[in-house]
Structure 1
Amino acid sequence: MLLHCLTLRFTDAATDADVEAFRDALAALPDQVPFPIRTRQGRDLGERPTNADYAVVTEFADADDFREYLRHPAHLAVPRDHVASVHSVQFVVGDGPTDA
């Protein structure tokens, strides 16, 4: 299994409605892509001042599904107007392929 983890910061102008629109678009992705994915996401709890504002972890069967996801129209349509920065990492867990 390939895990895609990202953390992001929203712009200062981002409203709660903007963050909710982002969350809702991500939550809808598993039903819109032609392969199984599992996404978990949420706002930072504020435990550390250096943390990002939001995190997303998405599970894919393999690197091919991940690459298809990146170009899928539903993923490209996720609203990013109020995203200031993104950091991501992908890695393989379990007995799956290691070509990530």
Structure 2
Amino acid sequence: MLIHCVTLTFKESASAAQIETFRDALAALPDQADFPLRICQGRDLGERPTNADYAIVAEFESTEDFYTYLKHPAHLALPQDHIESVQSVQFLVDEQG
């Protein structure tokens, strides 16, 4: 299994509606993919001033599925004009965790 973790910071001008649209588009991705995909996402709780604004964790059954996802039209269509910065990391886990 491949885990894809993303943190992002929104531009100060990002509205609540834009963030909600982003969230909804992400939530719709698993139904649009032709491979197994699980996504967990949410806004930062604000407990530390250095945290990013938002986090996404996506689980893929294989590395090939991850690369297919990166090129998938629904992924490429995610609204990004209100995002300031993005960082990500990917790692592999076996079935025992």
SS of residue paired to 1:5: strand
Amino acid paired to 1:57: V
> 2:58 matched to which residue of 1?
58
TM-score using structure 1 length: 0.94
**Where does structure 1 differ by over 6 angstroms across 4 or more consecutive aligned residues?**
none
SS of residue paired to 1:35: coil
The CA deviation at 1:7 is 0.1
SS of residue paired to 1:3: strand
> 2:93 matched to which residue of 1?
93
The CA deviation at 1:94 is 1.5
> 2:45 matched to which residue of 1?
45
SS of residue paired to 1:46: coil
The CA deviation at 1:66 is 0.2
Q: 2: distance between equivalents of 1:49 and 1:95?
A: 35
Q: 2: distance between equivalents of 1:95 and 1:39?
A: 18
% of aligned pairs identical?
65
Q: 1: distance between equivalents of 2:52 and 2:65?
A: 26
Q: 1: distance between equivalents of 2:13 and 2:95?
A: 43
2:39 maps to 1:18: no
> Which segments of 5 or more consecutive residues in structure 1 lack a partner in the other structure?
none
Aligned residue pairs: how many? 96
The CA deviation at 1:95 is 4.1
Q: 1: distance between equivalents of 2:79 and 2:63?
A: 24
> 2:34 matched to which residue of 1?
34
Amino acid paired to 1:16: A
Q: 2: distance between equivalents of 1:67 and 1:74?
A: 13
Q: 2: distance between equivalents of 1:73 and 1:35?
A: 14
Q: 1: distance between equivalents of 2:84 and 2:63?
A: 26
